[in-house]
Every structure is written in structure tokens, then in C-alpha cells.
Amino acid sequence: MFIVNVEGAIHRDGKWLLIRRGEKEEHAAGCLSMVGGKCDLEGASSDILERTLKREIFEEIGIEVEGLTYVNSSAFVTERGAHVIDIVFLCQRITGEPYAKSEDEVGEINWMTTEDILVHHDAPSYLKKNISLAADKLTLKVYSSVEKS
């Protein structure tokens, strides 16, 4: 019925980690994107979204993440007519320096500010919306942790 896709909004030093999707990718080839991928069919399981995102990030760019916080979800239809539910999580990087580990899926690694993404001509409108929402969520997390201390 649906493909379930997860994406990670990874932030460091005022910038977001984006990739340029590989030219061989079925959906949005060559576009700027957050890192992520499709959930596999597993039958009965738990934490499938979180485990899938961690696996995809490691497979594509070689880093480990934790502290996943839900940002938003949306639905779209691909160029080939596949219906997709997309879920975005704010992630904390815990190990590794990102690189194009899966060169078929990742053309390049980019670190960009929110402002740069919002005006970039290769950033799709859904990416701009997701980064804006992730930036708001990040601000709330920082504000909440400062307020508690």
C-alpha cells in the first residue's frame, strides 16, 4: 500500500547535514536531501522507524546517531506512482565523520545553514519545509534544556 521512508535531520555547529542524492537513485536523483531510506518488511517488530533510520544513515554516510526526536510526517507520490509516507526525525550524531560511503546513493556531503537551504535553487520545497520544522524543534529542545538547568 505505502512505502514508509524515514529521514534524519542531523545538525552540528549551526549547519545541517545534507546529501546530494546519487544520479542512479529512483526518486529525486541528484537533489539535495536529508539522509534516510525505506523500511524493510519485518513482520511483527518494534522501533522499526528508529532502527531503519540508524541503519540507513550508517550505510549511506558511515556515522552513528542517537536521540531521535520526531519532527513531522508527510505523504507523496513518486514519479513512478508509488505512494510514500515520509517521517523526519531530528538526530544527534554520536560517532564518525560523514562521507559518501554508498556512492550509488550519495553523490556528495554538504553542511548548510537553515538560511542557505531555504534559498538554495536545488533544495526541493519539501526539504525546505522539513528543515524549517527541524530547526524549530531543535530550538525548542535547546530552550527546554536551558530552562531545566
CA distance 141 to 124: 26
Domains of the chain: total? 1
What is the chain's pLDDT, residue by residue, as a tens digit (149 residues)?
899 999 999 999 999 999 987 556 566 556 799 999 999 887 788 899 999 999 999 999 999 999 999 999 999 998 889 999 999 999 998 889 999 998 888 989 999 999 999 999 989 999 999 999 999 999 887 656 666 65
Phi, psi of 83 (to 5 degrees): -90, 130
- pLDDT for 23 equals 58
CA distance 149 to 96: 29
Residue 136, SS3 per DSSP: helix
- pLDDT for 22 equals 59
CA distance 96 to 62: 7
The domain that holds 98 is classified in CATH as 3.90.79.10
User: E strands, 1-149, where?
Assistant: 3-12, 15-21, 32-33, 35-38, 64-77, 83-95, 106-112
Angle (CA) 90-95-101 rounded to 5° is 90
Question: Containing domain of residue 94, as a range?
Answer: 3-148
- pLDDT for 147 equals 60
